Amino acid sequence: MPIHPTAIVDPSAQIDETAVIGPFCVIGADVTIGAHTGLKAHVFVEGPTTIGQENIFYPYSTVGVAPQDLKYHGERAETHIGNRNKIREFVTIHRGTTGGGLLTSIGSDNLLMAYSHVAHDVRLGSHCVLANGVTLAGHVVIGDWAVIGAFTGVHQFCRIGKHSMVGGYSVITQDVMPFATTVSKRENSVFGANATGLERRGFDAVAIEHLQNALRILTRANLNTSQAIARIEEEIPPTEEIADLLAFIRSSERGVIK
């Protein structure tokens, strides 16, 4: 059955006969849904929204709802979505505002992974990937074929150029050049042994002291990793914990945070 009996569909909605509206979906007034588009379950769509063909919306995605902009006071604003997009779980897509032309638009062949957010007046091109938790603020423009890594936040009015890639966990406050690879600076550091946690789990004070000394050599002795391992093996008693630490470092394929 193209429209599940538990779905709530406004009489003014225009839904192609080949579209599939799954259980507990809510389709509001002034919504158009094209051929072979599927809403799996629990999808909420408000109008005015136009959705093209062969899109798939996964459970709990929300489309076309009012923007989180305090200047918005209910003006008629729209959401346009092209063809063959994959909208994953808990994605939120907000309609436009007066300040952005009253339109939020998404092109075709995009993948919006779970929990990503498309704010008001965003212009998202085609063939783009928004990884899990990506947040696009209002008025952001994304060029075609851009890839944005997980949990990246893009500041309002910024542009992401076509064929660019933004690394995960980035904070983007300026335009990203097309064709470029861009990532925020990362400064992860080790601050010593997890002494409190180890004490709570029954490790004795001597074992913890040896770990503290080993980690101090690794992080503060101005040695490369191989040199630090050699010094630890020379200076620190070969306890089970030290052996585990060194085995972990030696087996790392990506390098360890120091």
pLDDT digits 0-9 by tens, 80-101: 999 999 999 999 999 999 998 9
Long-range CB contacts for residues 46-51, cutoff 8 Å, separation at least 24: 46/95, 47/10, 47/12, 47/13, 48/76, 48/77, 48/78, 48/79, 48/95, 49/78, 49/79, 49/80, 49/81, 49/95, 50/78, 50/79, 50/80, 50/81, 51/81
Q: Cβ contacts of residue 149 below 8 Å, gap of 6+? A: 131, 134, 165, 166, 167, 168, 169, 170, 183
pLDDT digits 0-9 by tens, 18-67: 999 999 999 999 999 999 999 999 999 999 999 999 999 999 999 999 99
Q: What is the mean pLDDT of residues 171-193?
A: 89
pLDDT digits 0-9 by tens, 189-244: 888 888 889 999 899 999 999 999 999 999 999 899 999 999 999 999 989 999 99
* 1 has a pLDDT exceeding 80: no
* 149 has a pLDDT exceeding 70: yes
- Quote the CA–CA distance of 81 and 96 in Å, as a whole number: 13
Catalytic residues: 120-121, 138
Q: H helices within 82-222, ranges in order?
A: 195-200, 205-220
Q: Please report, rounded to a whole number, the percentage of residues in the chain having pLDDT higher than 90.
A: 88
Instruction: Tell me the CATH number for domain 8-182.
Output: 2.160.10.10
Please give the pLDDT value at position 175. 93
Domain ranges of the chain: 8-182, 195-250
Please give the pLDDT value at position 62. 98
Mean pLDDT for the chain overall? 94
Distance of CA 110 to the CA centre of its chain: 14
Please give the pLDDT value at position 57. 98
Q: In what order do the strands lie in the sheet with 111-112?
A: 20-21, 38-39, 56-57, 86-87, 111-112, 129-130, 147-148, 165-166, 181-182
The architecture that CATH gives domain 195-250 is Up-down Bundle (1.20)
Number of residues written out for the chain: 258
Please give the pLDDT value at position 12. 95
- Quote the CA–CA distance of 152 and 150 in Å, as a whole number: 6
pLDDT band at 155 (very low <50, low <70, confident <90, very high): very high
Q: What is the mean pLDDT of residues 160-166?
A: 93
Please give the pLDDT value at position 189. 82
Assess whether the region 8-182 and the region 195-250 belong to the same CATH fold: no
More confident: 141 or 187:
141
Please give the pLDDT value at position 187. 82
